[in-house]
Copies of this chain bind each other. A is one copy, B any other.
Amino acid sequence: MIIIMKHGATAAQIANVAARVEQMGCQTHLSQGEERTIIGVIGNGRPIDRDGIDRMSGVERTVSVLRPFKLASREFHPQDTVFSINDIVIGGEQIVMMAGPCTVESREQLLETAEAVKAAGAHFLRGGAFKPRTSPYSFQGLGEEGLRLLAETREKTGLPVITEVMSPEQVPLVSTYADILQVGARNMQNYALLHAVGEAQRPVMLKRGMMSTIEELLMSAEYILSHGNNRIMLCERGIRTFETYTR
């Protein structure tokens, strides 16, 4: 972390801030510019109370040097994340396509769609059994019956299945039927759910919240990683802006 002192910060203020940092077990490194004093903080691996320092007298602002995520960083894991599901390599050179209906509606609809997307080159079948709906009056999906239809269609077509899981208690059930667990954009920061899929034995597709930053997306991946699941795909689904002309 770097602490930028205000223009005109007094020697006492600077000493005070440095003392506080050292008290936290960190080393400091002073750099006196013409206009500002900068205090470099050399950490000891433990989190620093940045808000507390931001509020100290004479401090203009602090700048974080390190990213807040660790397991999700290239520094910790320099290689690409590559894993296989039924011999389909995810994260490798080849682009993997997952396609299917928004919602599983019936055996016929699902089978017909699955065969069509397979013929068109898809590697996975997607389809929602539990649907996150903005309206409580919209069709909420077929639930477990939808999961059964997905599994049945996998038998017939050979396409592995990805489907959404919406709450921690659904994780065991959905894991029984699905090859990949999908966490939807609205649940990107549903930490109880991230915890649960982090302990599941299935790969996870994590969708970016529609107004979440990339850093927040990676922090949500960090949650899953920190609970032991490192087979994660990130899905960039676009963000919300002021423009409504296109959807």
Contacts and interface: CB of A to CB of B under 8 A. Distances in A.
Interface of A: 2, 4, 7-8, 29, 31-36, 38, 40, 42-43, 45, 47, 63, 65-66, 68-70, 75, 132-138, 166-170, 186-187, 189-193, 209-216, 219, 222-223, 226-227, 239-246
A191 B34 contact: no
Contacts of A133: 191
A90 to B, nearest CB: 23
B31 A42 contact: yes
Given A75-B7, A134-B68, A186-B190, A242 B35 contact: no
A89 to B, nearest CB: 27
A108 B34 CA distance: 37
A33 B43 contact: yes
Given A33-B43, A166-B192, A167-B192, 14 more contacts: A7-B75, A8-B75, A31-B40, A34-B45, A68-B134, A70-B137, A134-B216, A135-B222, A170-B192, A187-B190, A211-B240, A239-B242, A240-B242, A241-B242
A7 B240 CA distance: 30
B36 A65 contact: yes
A245 B191 contact: no
Most B CB within 10 A of own CB, among A132, A187, A227: A187
Contact of A245 (B132, B138, B187, B214): B214
Given A211-B211, A213-B243, A65 B38 contact: yes
Contacts of A70: 137
